[in-house]
Chains A and B, each alone.
Chain A
Amino acid sequence: MAENKNSLVKELTKGIIKENPTLVMLLGMCPTLAVTTQAMNGIGMGLATTFVLLGSNIVISALRKVIPDKVRIPAFIVIIASFVTLIGFLLEGFVPALYDSLGIYLTLITVNCIIFGRAEMFASKNGVIASAFDAIGMGIGFTIALFLMGSVREIIGAGQWMGMTIPVLHNNPMLLFIMPAGGFFTLGMIIAAVNKLSNKKPPKEISCEGCPNAEACGKAGDCQ
């Protein structure tokens, strides 16, 4: 790939809107649903994931010629898990409040399909600089999606937003929205809105692109 300025900008921007990992490609549903009870948590999770994605994309693309194809899945997982451990330390040390509210979902970044998907689809085939830009773009797209989810759920479900109180809703919040059921509902509604707004047809099923399990899943008969 010719790494000129134009193509780098394209790698950066595609993840934000056209190939938004959560809302268009439908990857990484677990954290999207789990931590977005507050807009702030959404941003924190998004940035933590971006950090891991950036680190793992850079290391994996740098090592792409060294890692044998047969052991690439365990190798990728170890690299990703190391960065997750690292971000865990950083958050625990500098932002303990965020560390506590993300809880176990911070560890579960390891098995986030976005990170593995990008490693498999992009970093293992492209150069270091392109992979870094791809990671930043995808990370920003993921963060925006989580922020959107968190904002909707916090405003409707708790009547506040980033520390501000929302007049009418604050006294009568719809608690359902910050409960698990509200997470599914909000994500469904946001994806429907994205479907409506985008001209080309988004995928009808959740995406298994780059998922290490897609092949086995296909054999089980359902994942498309």
Chain B
Amino acid sequence: MKTIMVILLSAMLTDNFVLSKFMGICPFLGVSKKLDSATGMGIAVTFVMICATVVTYPIHHGILVPNGLEYFDTVVFILVIALFVQLVENFLKKCVPSLYSSLGVYLPLITTNCAVLGVTVLNIDNGFSFGQSIINALGGGLGFMIALVIFSGVRKKLEYADIPETFKGVPATLIAASIVSVSFMGFSGLFS
């Protein structure tokens, strides 16, 4: 139980995917302007992260390792994730149209999101068991959502701020992200 909590909370807070591992910066800077799209993106990423872990973990340990093909991880994982997102999209469209209309637009976004590929590779690198991998994916996804939601609030304030011409746009956003990242440094040492 204790290890599970440690994995969950460290993936969410101390090793936050966006703010300390720099994965998924594009959606973080691009999508996080509105609160509802930040939440939608966060939920969709969490969902796909868990699903990608569920799919890739057995493939790695069941097919690639016994045949000595671990080095194919990257190629196989990215293909499986791309395929899987397509599958989920079609399934939702057909069977759960209400969910599709709210999450559907975010799904293709996730294919080349480095956070999703990152979590599957990290699970293997850290030698997690199947259950621990799923917890890690859940924590990573929730951490991603927390970062996006917090940052959407920060960016709303930023829109009305009087910023020097050279800093307008991306530089100001990045410096604001730096300050949010400093606040997450407060969590470091939580589990040492």
Interface residues of A (CB under 8 A from B): 26, 29-30, 33-34, 73-74, 77-78, 81-82, 84-85, 88-89, 104, 107-108, 110-113, 116, 176, 179-185, 187-189, 191-193, 195-196, 203-206, 208, 211-213, 215-217, 219-224
* B6 interface hit (Cβ, 8 Å): no
Nearest-Cβ distance from residue A72 to partner chain B, whole angstroms? 12
Report B-chain residues with C-beta under 8 Å of the C-beta of A82: 75
Q: Are B112 and A108 interface neighbours, CB within 8 A?
A: no
A-B contact pairs, 13 of them (CB 8 A): A29-B26, A78-B78, A78-B79, A107-B74, A110-B117, A111-B113, A181-B178, A181-B182, A185-B175, A188-B172, A188-B174, A216-B106, A220-B109
Interface string of B112-128 (1 = CB under 8 A from A): 11100110011001000
CA distance A219 to B171 in the complex (A): 25
Report A-chain residues with C-beta under 8 Å of the C-beta of B92: none
Q: Given known contacts A183-B178, A222-B32, what 19 new A-B pairs fall within 8 Å (CB)?
A: A30-B114, A78-B75, A78-B79, A81-B75, A89-B71, A104-B118, A104-B125, A179-B185, A180-B21, A180-B22, A184-B174, A184-B177, A195-B166, A203-B169, A206-B170, A220-B31, A220-B41, A222-B30, A224-B30
Q: Are B26 and A85 interface neighbours, CB within 8 A?
A: no
Q: SS class of chain A's interface: helix, strand, loop or mixed? A: helix
Q: Are B170 and A74 interface neighbours, CB within 8 A?
A: no
Sort A-B residue pairs by CB-CB distance and give the 4 closest, nearest first.
Answer: A188-B174, A204-B169, A184-B178, A192-B171
Query: Quick one: which of B25, B27, B71, B182 contacts A88, CB cutoff 8 A?
Result: B71
Q: Are A206 and B34 interface neighbours, CB within 8 A?
A: no
* B51 interface hit (Cβ, 8 Å): no
Query: Quick one: which of B21, B22, B107, B170 contacts A188, CB cutoff 8 A?
Result: B170
Interface residues of B (CB under 8 A from A): 19-27, 29-34, 37, 40-41, 71-75, 78-79, 82-83, 105-109, 111-114, 117-118, 121-122, 125, 166-175, 177-179, 181-182, 185
